[in-house]
């Protein structure tokens, strides 16, 4: 009897437990779900308006987990996945693993080539990454196919042609192009130790044909003939062509490369402008060899003429490793440490720091500057600096550079003193940048964790550099000056090059990008990745997709009479600077009467000062030249950043004010919507 009562009690307790559990599931769980949904409504994920944030997030992920795929993050991709970025990111994580923990894909099984297959020409699809199965077995057939495919391509002419580096400033569809980008590729020759090795050590990347568009724009192609073995075992070549401003083949010498792209940069530095040249590519692709050749040529030109004794040349060299910056000449006796308060020479104390001053100028601290009085002194400084760069052994190169090496040459007038007006001139600057060799995730899978972090930092800085160039070219389009953000503060390397990327920079800047590639089939995946990185950076010059309304306030478009009238009127206005003198007589017609607005705007700052001071000598002339030149460049920058509608029409101040008011109304409506949503959430919480 007692046992039956015990069983009944246990059954009753069990029934009560299940009833309580059921009550919890019916009442508490829906409340928690509603609360979770409410939190999600209160903190919405990145949406369609956060396109650039998603772009940065995708670039960061690819650079960490699949660097070779980072080139896929283009405008076309962002348009395709608009509104579905979360889905895209989830697919990436599923395929390549969580951020920072990449999944290394297993190699595909090797295909068995058919014994009786005939060579079957080449296809038309883009080259794919990774080694091609069976390529080494068909080496002789592939060599014959490459010879047939390239037989009709004419040899590149080495004759001197008008430099695109100089010409691009005049070709803009939106006034003066203040910052230009010239894209080149250089295909290195086969090295002695690679000849006769057989297998995949044969040439499959060659210079392609040159072409000229209807607008007179000339391009040179790099032709990639990727060897493939079909499913049936037949060898074939997949043909891909990339367009560049210049394509230098294995037979091109350093002198030829320098004449086309290096000499114009040296002339810009002597004229007080900014020049930048950098090489990108796989380790062992010839970047350092090319950059050393350019540096040798630039040094020769800086000391070549009789006026070399009248200028002062300063040299600095730093290496950038992620966010760490080192001075490679810190312990040498120098004339001063740029940016430091003491200025008593380089001591090597403290890391180099890069930042912006209140007026927007980029400042470096603890970076030594060395005055080179002769060519021999400068060559010696370059040798010391390059010997101190960090290198590591890689699969392709025993001394691969694992940091970005930046040589900075500053060229200014010698002995600028009081009353000369020369002290106000901005010195010319040249940045010769030897980027660290790029590596893919598959190349670094055997590296230590520290080396993998280093590779990640290098790839991130390279992607930041590409993103800045892409954004700066978009900002050059009519109406794009204010609507496009150039993220040059994202890395120390791009911040150092702010003059190149800032649409408001009041100096002419020219940048040359060199994509260095290996010609071998062994490296075709790497080389294709390099060309895919660089080719999209090239933009057509002098081409506008829509008719552009001429801006009457743009000095580049002024006639001789308009320019001289403006110069005379501006010179007659008294300066508002403290201690400035009264306006002096100034005849603009005598100095600039034969020059168009474009020609005056293209004058180097030093030449502009010389002309003004030839008529108004001394400190008064120096002050007048400085004031006129600054006012002229203010007009140039204003014209570049003036807002336009999508059809190329200038937006008036009244239209801009109306658009601003409409934006304020829309913002107020959104704020009211969020307030209503918060009230709804508060009401729902009160029921809980």
Q: Which two tokens stand for residue 653?
A: 């101040």
Q: Which two tokens stand for residue 621?
A: 């002339």
CA separation for the pair 422, 626 (Å, rounded): 10
CA separation for the pair 340, 483 (Å, rounded): 36
CB of 149 closer than 8 Å to CB of 480? no
Residue with tokens 């920072």: 100
DSSP state of 438: B
CA separation for the pair 524, 239 (Å, rounded): 12
Residue 444: CB partners within 8 Å, gap ≥ 6? 451, 452, 455
The helix/strand/coil state of 84 is: coil
Taking Cα atoms as reference points, which of 272, 310, 334 lies closest to residue 414? 310
Does the annotation flag 285 for ligand binding? yes
Does the annotation flag 383 for ligand binding? no
The helix/strand/coil state of 516 is: strand
Taking Cα atoms as reference points, which of 442, 362, 455 lies closest to residue 403? 455
Does the annotation flag 288 for ligand binding? yes
Return the biggest CA–CA distance within the chain: 128
CA separation for the pair 611, 671 (Å, rounded): 58
CA separation for the pair 357, 365 (Å, rounded): 12
CA separation for the pair 128, 149 (Å, rounded): 19
Residue with tokens 């040296």: 266
CA separation for the pair 432, 382 (Å, rounded): 11
Does the annotation flag 374 for ligand binding? no
- CA dihedral (36, 41, 47, 52) in degrees, to 10, reads -80
Q: Of all helices (H) and strands (E), which one includes residue 224?
A: strand 218-229
Does the annotation flag 415 for ligand binding? no
Residue with tokens 């320019």: 563
Q: Which two tokens stand for residue 601?
A: 């705007």
Q: Of all helices (H) and strands (E), which one includes residue 280?
A: strand 274-281
Residue 648: CB partners within 8 Å, gap ≥ 6? 478, 479, 544, 546, 547, 548, 549
Does the annotation flag 511 for ligand binding? no
Does the annotation flag 163 for ligand binding? no
Angle between helices 287-302 and 375-387 (to 10 degrees): 160
Does the annotation flag 155 for ligand binding? no
CA separation for the pair 509, 604 (Å, rounded): 12
Taking Cα atoms as reference points, which of 499, 177, 179 lies closest to residue 360? 499
User: Which positions make up the binding site for ATP?
Assistant: 281-288
Residues in the annotated binding site = 281-288
């Amino acid at each position: 009897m007692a046992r039956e009562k015990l069983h009944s009690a246990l059954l009753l307790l069990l029934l009560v437990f299940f009833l309580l559990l059921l009550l919890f599931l019916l009442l508490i769980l829906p409340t928690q779900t509603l609360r979770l949904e409410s939190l999600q409504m209160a903190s919405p994920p990145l949406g369609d308006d956060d396109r650039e944030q998603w772009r940065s997030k995708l670039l960061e992920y690819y650079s960490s987990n699949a660097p070779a795929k980072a080139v896929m993050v283009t405008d076309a991709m962002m348009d395709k996945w608009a509104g579905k970025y979360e889905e895209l990111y989830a697919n990436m994580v599923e395929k390549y693993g969580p951020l920072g923990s990449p999944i290394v894909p297993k190699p595909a099984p090797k295909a068995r080539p058919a014994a009786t297959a005939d060579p079957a020409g080449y296809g038309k699809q883009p080259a794919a990454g990774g080694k091609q199965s069976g390529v080494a077995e068909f080496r002789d057939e592939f060599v014959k196919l490459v010879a047939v495919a390239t037989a009709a391509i004419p040899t590149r002419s080495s004759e001197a042609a008008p430099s695109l580096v100089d010409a691009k400033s005049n070709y803009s569809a939106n006034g003066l192009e203040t910052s230009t980008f010239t894209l080149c590729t250089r295909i290195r020759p086969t090295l002695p130790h690679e000849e006769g090795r057989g297998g995949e050590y044969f040439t499959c990347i060659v210079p392609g044909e040159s072409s000229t568009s209807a607008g007179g724009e000339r391009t040179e192609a790099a032709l990639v003939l990727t060897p493939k073995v079909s499913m049936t075992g037949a060898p074939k070549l997949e043909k891909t062509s990339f367009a560049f401003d210049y394509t230098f083949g294995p037979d091109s010498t350093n002198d030829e490369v320098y004449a086309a792209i290096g000499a114009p940069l040296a002339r810009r530095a002597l004229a007080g402008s900014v020049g930048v040249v950098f090489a990108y590519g796989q380790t062992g692709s010839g970047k350092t060899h090319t950059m050393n050749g350019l540096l040798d040529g630039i040094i020769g030109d800086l000391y070549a003429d009789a006026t070399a004794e009248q200028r002062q040349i300063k040299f600095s060299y730093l290496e950038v490793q992620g966010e760490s910056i080192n001075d490679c000449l810190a312990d040498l006796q120098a004339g001063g440490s740029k940016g430091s308060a003491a200025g008593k020479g380089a001591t090597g104390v403290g890391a180099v720091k890069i930042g912006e001053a209140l007026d927007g100028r980029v400042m470096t601290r603890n970076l030594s500057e060395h005055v080179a009085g002769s060519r021999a002194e400068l060559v010696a400084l370059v040798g010391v600096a390059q010997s101190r760069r960090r290198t590591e052994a890689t699969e392709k190169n025993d001394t691969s550079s694992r940091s970005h090496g930046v040589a900075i040459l500053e060229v200014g007038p010698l002995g600028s003193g009081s009353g000369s007006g020369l002290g106000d001139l901005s010195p010319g600057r040249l940045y010769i940048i030897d980027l660290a060799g790029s590596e893919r995730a598959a190349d670094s899978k055997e590296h230590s964790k520290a080396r993998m972090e280093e590779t990640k930092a290098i790839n991130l800085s390279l992607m930041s550099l590409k993103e800045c160039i892409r954004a700066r070219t978009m900002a050059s389009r009519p109406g794009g000056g204010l609507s496009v953000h150039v993220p040059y503060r994202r890395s120390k390397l791009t911040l150092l090059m702010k003059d190149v990327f800032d649409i408001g920079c009041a100096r002419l800047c020219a940048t040359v990008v060199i994509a260095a590639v290996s010609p071998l089939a062994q490296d075709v995946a790497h080389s294709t990745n390099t060309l895919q990185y660089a080719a999209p950076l090239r933009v057509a010059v002098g081409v506008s997709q829509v008719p552009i309304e001429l801006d009457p306030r743009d000095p580049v478009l002024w006639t001789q009479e308009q320019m001289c009238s403006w110069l005379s009127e501006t010179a007659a206005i008294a300066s508002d600077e403290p201690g400035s003198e009264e306006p002096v007589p100034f005849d603009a017609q005598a100095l600039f009467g034969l020059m168009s607005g474009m020609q005056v705007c293209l004058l180097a700052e030093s030449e502009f000062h010389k002309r003004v001071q030839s008529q108004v000598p001394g400190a008064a002339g120096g002050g007048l030249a400085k004031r006129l030149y600054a006012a002229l460049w203010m007009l140039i920058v204003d014209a570049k950043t003036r807002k336009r509608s999508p059809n190329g029409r200038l937006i008036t101040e009244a239209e801009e004010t109306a658009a601003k008011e409409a934006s304020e109304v829309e913002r107020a409506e959104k704020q009211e919507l969020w307030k209503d949503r918060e009230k709804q959430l508060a009401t729902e919480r009160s029921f809980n």
